[in-house]
Structure 1
Amino acid sequence: MQKQELSYEDSKFTLDTYWLDPISDFDEPVDQPLAIICPGGAFKFHSDREAQPIAMKFNAAGIHALVLHYQLIEDGKAVYPLALQEMATTLNWLKTQSESHHIDLSKVLLVGFSAGGHVVANFNSIMLNPDERKKIFTDDLEVEPAANILGYSVIDMTLGWPKDEEWSMKISSDIYYWQAQEHLTKHGKPTFIWQTVTDDTVPVMNSIIYAQKMDLLGIPYEMHLFGSGGHGLSLSTYVTKHPDGGDYNVYDAKWWELCVNWMKLQKILPKF
């Protein structure tokens, strides 16, 4: 893993980069898909459990991975719109890296967990609509994502997370950014959604309403709601298991296998 620093205007942010090396046995290098991962952390921090373990899982599937350290609530700064501007900057930066790292720019995934899923859902809703994007990002978007993956994501900040409006106002004083589903249009990309119905932090209705809006707009999606398990499961395997014994449910770990199948359906990965 290597750190990469980027900036949007006068604001700096970092990426953790997990590049796949070309296979030297091949006559020519192969361009590979890429996943941009937004970990959760309640906009207070970026959870390591949803960073490197997830990135390496994508690497094992033949996908480059980046972990985006998007804007948090700190130093009096709000999350939005800066987090969306950082994502757009990252996507445009990929174009400068495509030849050296052999990236298939037509197969870029945005992956979000919990609070990081709110960033991804908002990007899918707001930033892929050219009319809305130009209000907060004046450059062209040179690379568009092909699809999204949302894990137990915050979608609507009025549905139970955050618990109080004061924290929502710190995330953004502009309520325009609170409800990602409200701004979703036909420009949105196919999305894989998973969560547990017993999530005691982010109510499962968040996932349901985003899938419902996608359904109304005719945007392809696949949703899996598991019958047990808490919030923040990450891989839901021993790899990301908390030492106290929580965050581990062998049944919910099936989400990754289901997600790989979905990526094949979306032609991000080959079917064979």
Structure 2
Amino acid sequence: MQKQELSYKDTKFTVDTYWIDPLVDYEEQVDRPVVIICPGGGFKFHSDREAQPIALKFNSIGIHALVLRYQLVDDDHSVYPLSLQEMATTLNWLKTQSEHHIDLKKVILIGFSAGSQIVADFNSIMLDPEQREKIFNDELEVEPAVNVMGYPVVDMTLGWPKEDSWAMKISPDIYYWQAQEHLTKNGKPTFIWQTVTDEVVPVMNSIIYAQKMDMLKIPYEMHLFGSGSHGLSLATYVTQKPGVEKNLNDYDSKWWDLCVNWLKLQKILPKH
């Protein structure tokens, strides 16, 4: 892993890069898909359980991976719109990385919990030219092909965060609070998964985004598992906090295989 420092205007941010090296015994190199990962953490921190383990999992199926260390709440900045501008900057930066053999038509955005709201808002706001031009002056040269959202925050009026004061710190502009309200037909196909017993982010967040996608006839696949806690990540021993049994859930861990199948349906991965 190498850290790459990028900037939007006068604000610097970091991207962790997990490139798959070219294979020297190939006569012709393969252009591989790339995923940009937005870990959760309630906009207070970036959860490592949803960073490197997810990146390496994507590497294992032949996909380059980046972890976007997006803007958190601090004394100088709110999360929005800067996190969306950072994502757009990262996407455009991919175009300069030809030595890594990236298939720019197969870019995946994946978010977990709070990180999923950045993905959802990007899909809603930043892929619509009229909305995007209000906050991002440059051309968006690289667009994602698909999105993946795990136990996502979509609408900050549905139960997370519990305090409006924290929501105001995330964004004093309520325009960014409800991603589903700004979704247009420009949105990309999306895979969503969550547990119906999620004790932190109400499952209605997933349902309302899927419902809006359905209304707009944007392809999606949603899996709501019957039990399981918030913040499962891979739901295996790989991402289990020591001694925390609720991080293990063999049933819910199937989300990964379901997601890989869906990426094949979307022609991000070959079927065989």
TM-score range, shorter chain: over 0.9
Q: Give the deviation of 1:248 after TM superposition.
A: 1.1
1:218 counterpart residue number: 217
Once residues 248 and 86 of structure 1 are traced to their aligned partners in structure 2, the CA distance between those partners, rounded to angstroms, is 33
| Secondary structure, counterpart of 2:152 in structure 1 | coil
Once residues 231 and 90 of structure 2 are traced to their aligned partners in structure 1, the CA distance between those partners, rounded to angstroms, is 25
Once residues 44 and 62 of structure 1 are traced to their aligned partners in structure 2, the CA distance between those partners, rounded to angstroms, is 31
Moved more, 172-181 or 18-27: 18-27
For 1:138-182, what per-residue CA distance to the aligned partner results, in whole angstroms no more than 9, with x for missing partners? 000000000000000100000000001000000000000000000
| Secondary structure, counterpart of 1:243 in structure 2 | coil
1:5 counterpart residue number: 5
For 1:52-83, what per-residue CA distance to the aligned partner results, in whole angstroms no more than 9, with x for missing partners? 00000000010000000000001231000000
Q: Give the deviation of 1:85 after TM superposition.
A: 0.1
Once residues 185 and 222 of structure 1 are traced to their aligned partners in structure 2, the CA distance between those partners, rounded to angstroms, is 17
1:81 counterpart residue number: 81
Counterpart code for 1:20: I
Counterpart code for 1:10: D
Counterpart code for 2:90: T
Once residues 140 and 253 of structure 1 are traced to their aligned partners in structure 2, the CA distance between those partners, rounded to angstroms, is 38
| Secondary structure, counterpart of 1:96 in structure 2 | coil
Moved more, 130-139 or 241-250: 241-250
Gapped runs of 5+ residues in structure 2? Answer: none
Once residues 76 and 268 of structure 1 are traced to their aligned partners in structure 2, the CA distance between those partners, rounded to angstroms, is 38
Q: Give the deviation of 1:237 after TM superposition.
A: 0.4
Once residues 205 and 194 of structure 1 are traced to their aligned partners in structure 2, the CA distance between those partners, rounded to angstroms, is 12
| Secondary structure, counterpart of 1:253 in structure 2 | helix
* Structure-to-structure mapping, 1:35-114, within 5 angstroms: 35-97=35-97, 99-114=98-113
Counterpart code for 2:63: I
1:184 counterpart residue number: 183
Q: Give the deviation of 1:242 after TM superposition.
A: 1.3
| Secondary structure, counterpart of 1:33 in structure 2 | strand
Q: Give the deviation of 1:89 after TM superposition.
A: 0.2
For 1:10-40, what per-residue CA distance to the aligned partner results, in whole angstroms no more than 9, with x for missing partners? 0000000000011111101100000000000
1:263 counterpart residue number: 263
Q: CA RMSD in A?
A: 0.5
2:22 counterpart residue number: 22
Counterpart code for 2:202: P
Counterpart code for 1:67: V
2:138 counterpart residue number: 139
Question: How many residue pairs were aligned?
Answer: 271
Counterpart code for 1:228: S
2:198 counterpart residue number: 199
**Divergent runs of 4+, >3 A:** none
TM-score if structure 1 supplies the norm length?
A: 0.99
Once residues 85 and 190 of structure 1 are traced to their aligned partners in structure 2, the CA distance between those partners, rounded to angstroms, is 21
1:154 counterpart residue number: 153
Once residues 203 and 57 of structure 1 are traced to their aligned partners in structure 2, the CA distance between those partners, rounded to angstroms, is 27
Counterpart code for 1:7: S
Is structure 2 residue 247 aligned with structure 1 residue 247?
yes
Q: Give the deviation of 1:100 after TM superposition.
A: 0.6
TM-score if structure 2 supplies the norm length?
A: 0.99
